[in-house]
Amino acid sequence: EPEVTQTPSHQVTQMGQEVILRCVPISNHLYFYWYRQILGQKVEFLVSFYNNEISEKSEIFDDQFSVERPDGSNFTLKIRSTKLEDSAMYFCASSTQGAYNSPLHFGNGTRLTVT
Amino acid sequence: KNEVEQSPQNLTAQEGEFITINCSYSVGISALHWLQQHPGGGIVSLFMLSSGKKKHGRLIATINIQEKHSSLHITASHPRDSAVYICAVRPVSFGGTSYGKLTFGQGTILTVHP
């Protein structure tokens, strides 16, 4: 069964450094998402991406964050200058239609640790 | 403000027991998702509901739109069902089309003992 893959599984970085989290969504999916989960807390929505542009974003997704789909397969989340509070598990997801109408397929997550 | 509340927060069961996890939300929604988070952290989508009831194997999900309530049932529970079960909703106020802006519950930690 096709799956969403995320790399790396664990990323350690120093405060102030840039990180890029990578995702390969399921090939025929059109909608792409990033979520994060700080340890011990609820999952939080970050951003939706459709038709090569951001369609929704949360208050968390400020100017430090950006997303790209640089080619037909990869979907990336960049954090320009990491803060300690960015430490979390970051999940990529994709779907054939929007989340109001189709299930989401999640990757296994990237654990980001900012020191 | 939309809140998603799950109960119980923790649930321990013996293998074979019937399990129910509840989810209540405070605003009108266009969809509700039940997700399973494995001990390693990965998330799997179990159901997406906008009305009625869905069944997949030993799992059943129901939703009552008028009462703003959904339940996830597991019949004949097994230790491999041990996981965190998360309810997430798409409020109508977020807009009618597409997208993944969901509000998540805090999760229910299920432990099934052999």
How far is the C-alpha of A105 from the C-alpha of B52, rounded, in Å?
A: 22
- What are residue B104's phi and psi, to 5 degrees? -105, 145
Residues 54-73 (B) with a CB less than 8 A from some CB of A: none
Mean pLDDT in residue range B4-14: 97
Which chain B positions have a beta carbon within 8 Å of A104's beta carbon?
A: 33, 35, 45, 48, 100
The pLDDT tens digits for B57-79 are: 999 999 999 999 999 999 999 99
The torsion of the CA quartet B102, B108, B109, B114, rounded to 10 degrees, works out to: -120
Alpha helices for chain A (secondary structure H): none
- Token pair in block for residue B25: 């939300």
- The CA distance from B16 to the nearest CA of chain A, in Å, is 28
Which chain A positions have a beta carbon within 8 Å of B43's beta carbon?
A: 43, 91, 93, 106, 109
Question: What pLDDT was estimated at residue B93?
Answer: 64
| Residue B48 sits at the chain A interface (C-beta within 8 Å) | yes
Q: Are B33 and B93 in contact (CB under 8 A)?
A: no
Q: Are B67 and B80 in contact (CB under 8 A)?
A: no
Q: Which residue of B has its CA nearest to A45?
A: B101
In the predicted model, residues of chain A with pLDDT beneath 50 are none
Question: What pLDDT was estimated at residue B1?
Answer: 62
Which residue's entry shows tokens 């009625």? Answer: B52
The pLDDT tens digits for B12-70 are: 999 999 999 999 999 888 889 999 998 888 899 999 999 999 999 999 999 999 999 99
Question: What pLDDT was estimated at residue B3?
Answer: 87
- Cis amide linkage into residue A8, ω under 30° from 0: yes
Shortest CA distance to A37 belongs to which of A76, A88, A82? A88
Which chain A positions have a beta carbon within 8 Å of B101's beta carbon?
A: 45, 48, 56, 58, 99
- The CA distance from B86 to the nearest CA of chain A, in Å, is 9
The pLDDT tens digits for B79-96 are: 999 999 999 998 876 554
Q: Do A98 and B99 touch (CB under 8 A)?
A: yes
Strands A65-68 and B69-74: unpaired
Question: What pLDDT was estimated at residue B94?
Answer: 59
Q: Do A103 and B104 touch (CB under 8 A)?
A: no
Angle at B4 between CA B3 and CA B6, to 5 degrees: 140
Q: Are A56 and B100 in contact (CB under 8 A)?
A: yes
Q: What whole-number percentage of chain A has pLDDT above 70?
A: 97
Task: Pick from B56, B86, B101 the residue to mutate for testing the A interface (most A CBs within 10 Å).
Answer: B101
Q: Do B101 and A45 touch (CB under 8 A)?
A: yes
Question: What pLDDT was estimated at residue B100?
Answer: 75
The torsion of the CA quartet A20, A26, A29, A30, rounded to 10 degrees, works out to: 10
Element (H, E) at B45: strand B43-49
| Residue B39 sits at the chain A interface (C-beta within 8 Å) | no
